[in-house]
Amino acid sequence: MRKTITLVCEECLSRNYKVSKNVLTPTRLVLNKYCPKCKKVTKHLETR
């Protein structure tokens, strides 16, 4: 089973991406993604 989560940019705090994640995964997701507001690749964190 999967659920949809939102990723937020670590630098500007804009919510840019929605991705699916396995429900049984206990750790928070961290991905390097492109932020259109910062105009560079930054670390994006899972919001709660």
Strand 40-46 with 30-35, pairing: antiparallel
Could you list the beta-strand ranges (E) of 1-48.
Answer: 2-9, 15-22, 30-35, 40-46
Q: Is the pLDDT of residue 48 over 90?
A: no
Give the pLDDT confidence of 1-46 residue by residue, as tens digits. 999 999 999 999 999 999 999 999 999 999 999 999 999 999 999 9
**CATH (residue range 2-46):** 2.20.28.120
For the chain, domain boundaries: 2-46
